[in-house]
Amino acid sequence: MATAYESLNVLVESIMVSSKGWVEAVAIISQDGTPLSYNANVDFNPDYIAATTAAIAGATSAVVDLLNSKGFDKIDVQLKDKRHLLIKNYKEYYIICITKPNPNLGFVNLILEAFLSGKS
């Protein structure tokens, strides 16, 4: 039986391959900002990305709480170079995807839903 860590590695690899090149980096981090698994085709510092993602998700959760909502599912930040930073809740983790510029965002979201649905 695969360990949880091996399962996360398989998930990261599956998202990267299935994205057909639209995703440049995928990472899974714990909610406290610890990088657990990642794959990147670009310059990528997993420790820095993980810590920053935890801060973004924490700030977003605080705002969502002020709106009396039950949390958030996904954060989508469009970068100035037309790439997207996607942060998605998954179980007790965050999945981070960095897309290529001007991605087929519908396709990327479909891939994420296919791999993460029913598991959060």
pLDDT at 71 over 90: no
Q: What is the pLDDT of residues 14-63, one digit of tens each?
A: 999 999 999 999 999 998 999 999 999 988 899 999 999 999 999 999 99
Start-to-end Cα distance in the chain: 21
Residue 90 and residue 64 in contact, taking contact as beta carbons nearer than 8 Å: no
- CB-CB contact of 78 with 84 (8 Å): yes
When comparing pLDDT for 2 and 4, which is higher? 4
Per-residue pLDDT tens digits for 79-110: 999 999 999 999 899 999 999 999 999 999 99
pLDDT-based confidence at 69, cuts 50/70/90? confident
